[in-house]
């Protein structure tokens, strides 16, 4: 499919397939390597799939970044295949983003913490795809079969891309001991808020199948198993628990709009660490004065949670759980 065939269109096609689209894909790969967190992967398409099939998220991240480098190097060094690769990659991106929107996601994580709204990413990828389909470089620009130099450069770059991707991502999957209190709770402590045997942290934790938590005792939920200290009073009556992030705009609105006044029953607000090394990020929003009982998950693991994650616990069992919203489980609707 080629709509425009003039010299200008051919030049545009050349720039798109050899410069603009490789740079666009490269930016996404770099952001993923800088953050080195599986939270940069699309939730519905990759995180849910990997969790169901017990695929390590850090290995998956390294593989996907390596494939992005592969596509970039083919477009840059192997001119004959540049347009086909650009069309393939952009088609995959658009299908993934459409699937994310269908699944209710609002952010794809494509550019890490700097990702624009998912509809904007789909618009950008869609326009680049349409431009590539409409404007093709002429045959002389595309070149003949590649010679030894471009093939060698592409092969070398692919090897380096894989080495860099795995060398950066895989070590990041280890548990960090930054901020972890080395003092373990007393195994036989009479204090009911002390977890007698905290579960060892993993490299990451992903909130999968949270609907299956309903009906279970709260202390059987993984998030609570990792906490050395527990909220008080969860065994009797109704209790509200919300896991929040200090960089989440929805969480900020939740506190300022709904959690400034005392709630009945009171709300336990548990902060999700910003990353493996830091509890509260430097760019965190200001915490208002609230009547909530404040706690936090332990630093050291990569907590992949669409915040706020809210729970209503009735007589020690989970009665409601919702990811990305708080009003339903906190009975504010």
CATH number of the domain that 294 lies in?
3.40.30
In-domain check, residue 128? yes
If asked whether residues 134 and 219 sit together in one domain, one would say no
Q: Which DSSP helix (H) or strand (E) runs through 313?
A: strand 309-314
If asked whether residues 36 and 98 sit together in one domain, one would say yes
DSSP 176: P
According to the model, what pLDDT value does residue 139 have? Answer: 57
Instruction: Indicate the SS3 state at residue 101.
Output: helix
CB 181 within 8 A of CB 228: yes
- Residue 179 predicted with pLDDT over 60: no
Q: What is the DSSP string of 38-92?
A: GGGS-IIIIIHHHHHTT--HHHHHHHHHHHHHHHHHHHHH-HHHHHHHHHHHHHH
What total number of domains does the chain contain? 2
Tally of CB atoms within 10 A around 205? 18
If asked whether residues 14 and 143 sit together in one domain, one would say yes
Dihedral in degrees, nearest 10, Cα atoms 69, 117, 272, 254? 180
If asked whether residues 260 and 133 sit together in one domain, one would say no
Sign of CA dihedral 280, 283, 288, 292: negative
In-domain check, residue 193? no
Q: Which of 63, 41, 126 is nearest to 92 (CA)?
A: 126
User: What's the mean per-residue pLDDT of the chain?
Assistant: 82
Q: Among 154, 172, 190, give the residue marking a domain's end.
A: 172
Between 310 and 116, residue with greater pLDDT: 310
Between 14 and 163, residue with greater pLDDT: 14
If asked whether residues 164 and 28 sit together in one domain, one would say yes
Q: What is the DSSP string of 14-38?
A: HHIIIIIHHHHHHHHHHHHHHH--G
Q: Any idea which of 142-146, 239-243, 249-253 has the lowest mean pLDDT?
A: 142-146
If asked whether residues 230 and 286 sit together in one domain, one would say yes
Q: Any idea which of 2-16, 132-146, 212-226 has the lowest mean pLDDT?
A: 132-146
If asked whether residues 63 and 127 sit together in one domain, one would say yes
In-domain check, residue 333? no
If asked whether residues 155 and 30 sit together in one domain, one would say yes
- Residue 188 predicted with pLDDT over 60: no
In-domain check, residue 329? no
CB 226 within 8 A of CB 199: yes
For 253-286, write each residue's pLDDT tens digit.
999 988 888 777 889 999 999 988 889 988 899 9
Q: Any idea which of 102-116, 226-240, 248-262, 283-297 has the lowest mean pLDDT?
A: 102-116
For 190-206, write each residue's pLDDT tens digit.
566 788 888 888 888 98
Residues ≥6 apart with Cβ < 8 Å to 140: none
- Residue 89 predicted with pLDDT over 90: yes
In-domain check, residue 21? yes
Domain around 62: 7-172
If asked whether residues 152 and 211 sit together in one domain, one would say no
- Residue 140 predicted with pLDDT over 60: no
For 100-138, write each residue's pLDDT tens digit.
898 877 777 777 667 788 889 999 999 999 999 988 776
Residue length of the chain: 333
Distances (CA, A) of 256 to 248, 286, 290: 13, 10, 9
Between 90 and 306, residue with greater pLDDT: 90
- Residue 180 predicted with pLDDT over 70: no
In-domain check, residue 332? no
Report, as an integer, the average pLDDT of 298-307: 89
In-domain check, residue 68? yes
CB 135 within 8 A of CB 16: yes
pTM above 0.85, yes or no: no
Proportion of the chain in helix, strand, coil states, percent, rounded to 5: 45, 15, 40
If asked whether residues 223 and 122 sit together in one domain, one would say no
In-domain check, residue 191? no
According to the model, what pLDDT value does residue 150 have? Answer: 59
CA–CA gap between residue 246 and residue 261 (Å, rounded):
19
Between 20 and 158, residue with greater pLDDT: 20
Residues ≥6 apart with Cβ < 8 Å to 13: 83, 131, 132, 135, 136, 137, 141
If asked whether residues 145 and 39 sit together in one domain, one would say yes
If asked whether residues 137 and 57 sit together in one domain, one would say yes
């Amino acid at each position: 499919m080629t709509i425009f065939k003039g010299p200008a269109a051919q030049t545009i096609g050349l720039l798109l397939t050899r410069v603009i689209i490789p740079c666009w894909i490269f930016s996404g790969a770099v952001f993923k390597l800088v953050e080195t967190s599986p939270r940069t992967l699309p939730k519905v398409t990759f995180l849910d799939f990997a969790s169901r099939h017990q695929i390590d998220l850090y290995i998956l991240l390294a593989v996907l970044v390596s494939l992005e480098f592969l596509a970039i190097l083919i477009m840059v060094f192997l001119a004959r295949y540049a347009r086909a690769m650009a069309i393939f990659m952009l088609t995959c991106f658009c299908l993934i983003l459409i699937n994310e929107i269908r699944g209710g996601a609002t952010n794809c994580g494509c550019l890490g913490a700097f990702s624009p709204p998912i509809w904007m990413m789909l618009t950008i990828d869609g326009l680049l795809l349409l431009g590539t389909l409409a404007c093709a470089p002429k045959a002389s620009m595309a070149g003949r079969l590649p010679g030894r130099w471009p093939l060698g450069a592409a092969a070398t770059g692919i090897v380096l891309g894989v080495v860099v991707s795995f060398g950066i991502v895989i070590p990041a999957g280890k548990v960090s001991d930054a901020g972890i209190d080395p003092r373990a709770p007393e195994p036989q402590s009479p204090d009911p808020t002390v977890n007698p045997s905290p579960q060892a942290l993993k490299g990451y934790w992903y909130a999968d199948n949270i609907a299956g938590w309903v009906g279970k005792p709260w202390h059987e939920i993984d998030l609570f198993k990792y906490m050395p200290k527990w909220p008080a009073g969860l065994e009797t009556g109704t209790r509200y628990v919300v896991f929040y992030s200090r960089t989440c705009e929805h969480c900020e609105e939740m506190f300022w709009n709904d959690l400034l006044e005392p709630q009945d029953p009171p709300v336990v607000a548990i902060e999700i660490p910003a990353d493996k090394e830091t509890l509260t990020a430097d760019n965190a929003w200001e915490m208002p004065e609230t009547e909530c009982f404040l706690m936090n998950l332990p630093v050291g693991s990569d907590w992949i949670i669409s915040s706020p994650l809210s729970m209503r616990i009735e007589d020690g069992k989970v009665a409601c759980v919702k990811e990305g919203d708080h009003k339903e489980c906190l009975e504010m609707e």
